[in-house]
Structure 1
Amino acid sequence: MKKIRLLCIFLLIFILQGCAFDDPKYIHLKEKSDIAIYTKEIYTKLLKDEHFSIEFFDTNLYKDISVPEDENQIIENFIGSLSDENYKDEELPKEKEPYQLRIKFQDSKYIIKVYNENLVAIYPWDGNYKEDILSMKDIPKHYNLYDFCKHVENRAKALK
């Protein structure tokens, strides 16, 4: 009987020891290795010609609008016009962003929060790091995502 108890205690200790193992898939790093990590992920997918769609989301009305495929070029043009000076390491405003652009690839989904004509934040649907924060101050007006969102919103109103 003592041997059975000793064996049960040993098995119990061995089984509980397994709970102490760290599973690396649940480790979340606090620091981003690159200030533009998510923007570069999107740009890499665009350069590989991965198919994607854009969905415009009005956060005030909670309304989704599909962006026509012929206007998808705005994302590549926007990202292509960025320089290192556009990336910021600062806090985002406390108020809610008026618009979101949701970029859907086959294997991933990214969100671009558009705060105003000067500020956007980019992050994946399931990211581990803080979002990429970008200033649009020196971006050409025809690549500005705030203006693009206004265009999509006005086009949707005109179609009603």
Structure 2
Amino acid sequence: MKLSYIIISILISSVLLVSCTFSDANLSFNSKPSNHFYTERLFNSLGESKEFLSTLYETNLHKESSLDKDDMDVLINFFSSLNADDFIDDPYGIDKVPCYKIFININSVKYVINVYDSDFVSIYPWDGNKPMDFISMNNIPVAYNLYNFSKYKIDKPL
């Protein structure tokens, strides 16, 4: 009887010790190549793909609005009007809860654009492992300001 317990204990412990391994080869902990890394990837994906799914979400009242192709033109124009000086480090004093979130699904990759106020946005993929891209909208034309666009889209009657 004792021999069977010993054998079972050895088998269970050997299975537990052998099967629990962790490989960090697939995890990338290196720094971002640039402060516009995610923005560039999203902009290139929007230009290459005709199929997308996009939703605008208002975080305070929990309202949602779908974005169509014409709305995506505003986003493309926003990205086109950016220059290197618009990309900043994590802004000091920013409210960490964004007013609006724009979710964009392109080729099974989901991006999130956080719109904090009329001055700041951040962009990152849903499953990103690097810090988000922060963008100052101070030099962006008013027609392409994502805060104004989001406010208009949410308040627009059906």
Q: Report the Cα offset of residue 89 of structure 1.
A: 1.1
Structure 1 counterpart of 2:80: 80
Q: What CA distance in whole angstroms lies between the structure 1 residues aligned with 2:32 and 2:19?
A: 30
Q: What CA distance in whole angstroms lies between the structure 2 residues aligned with 1:98 and 1:14?
A: 50
Q: How many residues align?
A: 152
Question: 1:68-118, CA deviations, whole angstroms, 9 ceiling, x for partnerless residues?
Answer: 332211111111110000000124624411111111213111111101111
Percent same amino acid at aligned positions?
33
Question: 1:19-66, CA deviations, whole angstroms, 9 ceiling, x for partnerless residues?
Answer: 5563412x2415212211110111111221342232110100122211
Structure 2 counterpart of 1:81, one-letter code: S
Residues 27-42 of structure 1 aligned to structure 2 (within 5 Å): 27-29=27-29, 31-42=31-42
Residues 8-157 of structure 1 aligned to structure 2 (within 5 Å): 16=17, 19=20, 22-25=23-26, 27-29=27-29, 31-91=31-91, 93-156=94-157
Closer/same/farther in 2, CA of residues 14 and 73 from structure 1, 3 Å limit: same
Structure 2 counterpart of 1:145, one-letter code: L
Alpha-carbon contact 2:95-2:116 (below 8 Å) kept: no
5+ residue gaps, structure 2, are 1-9
When normalised by structure 1's length, the TM-score is: 0.80
- C-alpha RMSD of the superposition: 2.6
> Any runs of at least 4 consecutive aligned residues in structure 1 with deviations exceeding 6 A, and if so which?
12-15
Alpha-carbon contact 1:100-1:114 (below 8 Å) kept: yes
Alpha-carbon contact 1:53-1:69 (below 8 Å) kept: no
Structure 1 counterpart of 2:87, one-letter code: Y
Alpha-carbon contact 1:38-1:131 (below 8 Å) kept: yes
When normalised by structure 2's length, the TM-score is: 0.81
Structure 1 counterpart of 2:113, one-letter code: I
Structure 1 counterpart of 2:147, one-letter code: Y
Q: What CA distance in whole angstroms lies between the structure 2 residues aligned with 1:131 and 1:145?
A: 17
Q: What CA distance in whole angstroms lies between the structure 1 residues aligned with 2:15 and 2:102?
A: 50
5+ residue gaps, structure 1, are 1-8
Closer/same/farther in 2, CA of residues 21 and 106 from structure 1, 3 Å limit: closer
Q: Report the Cα offset of residue 17 of structure 1.
A: 6.3
